Structure 1
């Protein structure tokens, strides 16, 4: 084919100012249509060769520039053949696949040193640890740098050598003859697996990988106010990469365990306090333990709080203690400690107690009562439901 009289732009059906992406798309469309495996036209093979040659020229910036200036982009190669990346008398099938499917084949040897994978582990926390923050030891099983070869993968005194199969290129080319010429396909070298080098004397500790599995303990700092599902990001604490490459990151997912007294609701803590019927009627003050009581290092004055119960308190009443809840994550202040009061009616009375209660009922004219239906709010029954669920 005379390249000087060939209009490659016309063959691909693109304007002379077409972008590289437009040229690739045009070639991909025509190549898939004219490929010998799918085409039925008798001259499809010859058209396919023209399209491939056009893409070889227009798909390469230097060759395209030379062609646009009137030069010979194929360097005066064999008539009707392909030079450069397609080779004499054929074409590189790897380039065809790249163009048709938008893939970029690897070129040259790849490095043995690669970044390691990220790792995810889970850590259980007590409610007080999540609320006030702590530092916890965590056992992790990850790949670490091989201490024997320090990541090289080779025995002491040896080192990787150039692969004799691919001569250090990391890939090999296979040529297959067809009616449209020699088809060349490139693939990673089967001997060195694409590295371009082989390790004749692998390290006995890591078998040439440059890393080993190891259990280790790291200290994880937990900020105040975390909750279940939060993750702590520890950079470079994940898996060490192959060949002693840099470590990935470690993500610690937190799971806050249930507490026997307190239930967490966002930044608030909720608890249930049972009080006698007489205390509810007369009013009183009750000292309760706060969540700080679970901390060994807490000040004594912070471990208790006083709940003021007004006279005539009804069952289901919620008393809020501000600033006694959970510290807000990455912010200031704390939520409330909500105390839901459950009034307990005595189930066993002795003779004297029964007489006194009967006298009280007579004084209050409550010996005979009529049932009364009272409208209620959703919040009242919601608190009762939560309170009984915590029993």
Structure 2
């Protein structure tokens, strides 16, 4: 180990992406500095991130003024503003994209969260966003809802790279990997170069502990207390086991022979929600080659300051991770309900953030109509 935890993380084969983007970060040189000094090799965005970025409206004022003068609708305004930021970020990451063989240097933009249960609407907007951003290193984010799964396959089949988001359960993750493989098979059949199609599967971490800990605290037995803070990391480790099992065997080998890339597991929601836990745990406990960790800047700073990278912390943990889930079920924790609640809340949070974003942008546009 080098004494630089972020360098150690990269050396272990983990790609560190920043879970944030704003025009202020782009124009001030802050994002470039993070790339140069903090081993950042990609960016993820979501509706909450854009909503927060546009709250600090100064960086966007000139463009909002121009769009208002043009009579642009609120939806068109938000689309133009967000895709401009993502395109500029893609350009900033071009050299990393090229150096990494098109694996990293990726920037994600999400379809409108109001389309989470609309398959065709998701497909149409995903393809439109890919066209508008028009950069080879963009990833289009599609939620792993039941309606999202066929959309993922179809968008991949069109040769568009996808970040699948809001994955909480192992069963849904397995369905996501199946959707990816089907998409590659269809893309290959359609004559696309599947070596140029990339994907990550965003498996959410900290929110699992938040929901399960709440239920364990309600039980309030010594057995329940002993399991607090165990579920999220165990869940992610079992997801990695499923990834290893899926990207093996004849079906996958046939695609790999045609140049296909594995869909990398991406650990999302890695900022610690409960202050009683170590603020680096969802990074340092999920180290394995070929993974991505997308983290807020606060978490990245914590890892840089006092994170201890101990090598691969997933290999050899599957038995222990399985026993955590057996123990949770023995206590009566309804895991299916946990994951259903988390997905519903995840979609609602993004819908709410999107609604607030539209409201604030509409207010800006209205100022110019008076």
Q: TM-score, with normalisation over the residues of structure 1?
A: 0.19
Structure with greater strand share of residues: 1
Higher relative contact order (CA 8 A, sep 6+): 2
Q: Give the greater-gyration-radius structure (CA).
A: 1
TM-score calculated relative to the size of structure 2: 0.19
